[in-house]
Amino acid sequence: MTINLTLKIWRQTGPNDKGGFKTYPSGPISTDISFLELLDIINEKLTREGEEPVAFDHDCREGICGTCGAVVNGIPHGPEKKTTLCQLHMRHFKDGDTLVIEPFRARAFKLEKDLVIDRSRFDRIMQEGGYVSVNTGSAPDANAIPVPQETAEQAMNAAECIGCGACVAACPNAAAMLFVSAKISQLALLPQGQPERSRRALAMVRKMDNLGFGNCGNEKECEAACPKGISITNIARLNREFLRASICSNED
């Protein structure tokens, strides 16, 4: 089956350009293709017609690397629940639909070009404590510390975050709380994360604030947009971890 769409795509030549929407007809496209394959088709056409193709980030195209992402009709990663843009297929759209495609927008994400943004501030938050400090070679036997299955499962639920930034783009305050809470939860739940638990919570939250991400307003937009279904209960845990560390620990 094929459908025809109208695409309004954000074009911006660089960080200092003002940018704006340009309209492109999709031409007939198969409903079996993915959203990024639609962009591929548009780009092939633009290239042949002598116009610059649309720059967009993408890599694995199987929903796990977290590289791709754009806002489609107001929703980060588009209308399908728990689906990254690369896994969104055109069978979810109707003939004649108009799609407005724009980059993830947030103060902390600088726009590089068209749909490409700079998410390196996520790395900078991670540098503050998104790990267990264990040098290679100094680990005990893997089964030395039993971890209840339920705990391991909960930690894995949080660990599934792909760092795409959709939560920030969806949030009215451009908060990174869901992203940060996913890592803090994973490590707070596991015994291996305990020694640095307080320090991690304080340092990562402080960095997140310093880098220009907003605060949580309980709108739950992040959870709705998250392609991996990361739950906002992680944000509740982050708040508890932060409070606990602020009151009960000697860390500053």
Partner 1 sequence: MKLDAKIPDGPLAEKWDRHCFASKLVNPANKRKYDIIVVGGGLAGESAAATLAELGYNVKNFCLQDSPRRGHSIAAQGGINAAKNYQNDGDSIFRLFYDTIKGGDFRAREANVYRLSQISNSIIDQAVAQGVPFARDYGGQLANRSFGGAQVSRTFYARGQTGQQLLLGAYGALMRQVKQGRVEIFSRREMLELVVIDGQARGIITRNMLSGALERHGAHAVVLATGGYGNVYFLSTNAMSSNVSAAWRAHKKGAGFANPGFVQIHPTCIPVHGVHQSKLTLMSESLRNDGRVWVPSRVEDQRPPAEIPESERDYYLEKKYPSFGNLVPRDVASRNAKEQCDQGKGVGDTGLAVYLDFSEAIKRDGAASIRRKYGNLFDMYERITAGDPLREPMQIYPAVHYTMGGLWVDYNLMTNIPGLYALGEANFSDHGANRLGASALMQGLADGYFILPSTIGNYLAGAGTDKINVAHEAFEQAEQDAAGQTAKLLGVKGTRTVDDFHRQLGQIMWNHCGMARNRQGLEKALKLIPELRAEFWQNVLVPGSGQELNQSLERAGRVADFMEFAELMVEDALAREESCGCHLREESQTEEHEARRDDDNYSYVSVWEHQAQDRPKLHKEPLSFENVEPSRRSYK
Interface of this chain with partner 1, residues 130 to 149, rule: CB under 8 A: 130-143, 145-149
Shortest CB 219 distance to partner 1, Å = 26
Torsion, Cα 53 118 63 218, to 10 degrees, reads -130
β-bridge pairing 2-11 and 110-113 = unpaired
Residues in contact with partner 1, counted by CB under 8 A, come to a total of 79
Measure Cα distances from 10 to 6, 99, 252 in Å. Answer: 13, 11, 43
Site for partner 1 contains 96 (CB under 8 A): no
For residue 249, count other CB atoms closer than 10 A to its CB. Answer: 13
Site for partner 1 contains 209 (CB under 8 A): no
- Quick one: tokens of 163? 């760092």
* Closer residue to partner 1 in complex, CB, 69/214: 69
Site for partner 1, residues 59 to 88, rule: CB under 8 A: 59-67, 80, 82-83, 87
* Closer residue to partner 1 in complex, CB, 155/232: 155
| β partners of residue 89 | 34
Q: Is the dihedral of CA 110, 112, 116, 119 positive or negative?
A: negative
Shortest CB 200 distance to partner 1, Å = 11
Q: List, in order, residues 6 or more apart from 101 with CB less than 8 Å away.
A: 7, 8, 9, 10, 70, 71, 72, 115
Site for partner 1 contains 89 (CB under 8 A): yes
Site for partner 1, residues 23 to 52, rule: CB under 8 A: 29-30, 32-34, 36-37, 40-41, 44, 47-48, 50-52
Site for partner 1 contains 123 (CB under 8 A): yes
Site for partner 1 contains 119 (CB under 8 A): yes
